Amino acid sequence: MTVLQARSWLPRTEGSARLEFICRDGRTHLHVLHQKGAARVRFPNPAEGGPLEAVLLNTAGGLTGGDRIDLDVRLGTGAAAMLTTAAAEKIYRAREAKTAIAIELRLGVGANLNWLPQATILFDGARLERRTEVDLADQARFLAVEMLIFGRQAMGEEVRQGYCCDAWRIRREGTLVFADTFRLSGGIAAALARPATLSGARAAAMIIYVAADAASRLDLVRSLLAGAESLAGASAWNGLLVVRAIAPDGRILQDDIAPLLRALGGRLPRVWHC
């Protein structure tokens, strides 16, 4: 058996989860839950007055080349929920194949979703391909954050080589309103050092807020960013508000964006504080 053939028999992580929430008698209920493989979902008791909360777990403890995770979340008319992850997702060194993560979020009329996963940490040689598709019906409200950390500074980790393609597509009533793709390949360390990318920062975040009041929140968001250690900026247009921030490490970044998420979404997931 050749080395290449031996690699094809290495165990791979696969997982998928499908959730559907509905609103009945003024309260959101879990209507459908299907979980398979390494993908699991837990439902802690919601905070008083808070939305139903779902915590996503990867029982494999991390992902590498050839692993795949699929997530499909649907909110019916008027439903409200907050989704997060139990811990930061770790993307480890891969030989050839990429780590594939596909996320579909669909919101019905007047639905409200806070998509607040913890950070994704990439290690040297990681190869990540992630795509997030969001479909919003009329009057739906959506708040999301995505954090990428290229090696943990406190652990002395360096990310020199690898691949990262993180793509977002958001549609409102079937019309594309936001498209963003962050892509790095090959010599990641050199690319991150360029002023046009992260200017030497190790951590990057994007906050997306889609709601009727997006434009009116811009001044508040910019005032909250005034004292941030991170380099950050915010813009609003056509019912969207987008914040981008970079920082030397993930802890600084999370501390700076947490007040923004509270201002836009009301509260943070409790697992963020564990």
* Structural domain includes residue 166: yes
192-213: per-residue pLDDT in tens? Answer: 888 887 788 889 999 999 999 9
| Domain span including residue 188 | 15-273
Mean pLDDT of all residues in 160-188:
93
* Structural domain includes residue 6: no
Q: Which residue has the higher pLDDT, 50 or 118?
A: 118
What's the domain count of the chain?
1
* Structural domain includes residue 5: no
3-47: per-residue pLDDT in tens? Answer: 444 455 567 889 999 999 999 988 999 999 999 999 999 998 877
Mean pLDDT of all residues in 138-145:
96
Q: Would you tell me how many other CB atoms lie within 10 Å of the CB of residue 191?
A: 16
Q: CB of 198 within 8 A of CB of 192? A: yes
* Structural domain includes residue 3: no
* Structural domain includes residue 7: no
* Neighbouring-strand partners of residue 210: 142, 240
Residue 50, pLDDT > 80, answer no
Q: Checking phi first, is residue 95 left (phi over 0); if not, alpha (psi -120 to 50) or beta?
A: alpha
Q: Checking phi first, is residue 158 left (phi over 0); if not, alpha (psi -120 to 50) or beta?
A: beta
pTM: 0.92
Residue 113, pLDDT > 80, answer yes
The upper half-sphere exposure of residue 122, i.e. CA atoms within 13 Å in the direction of its Cβ, equals 30
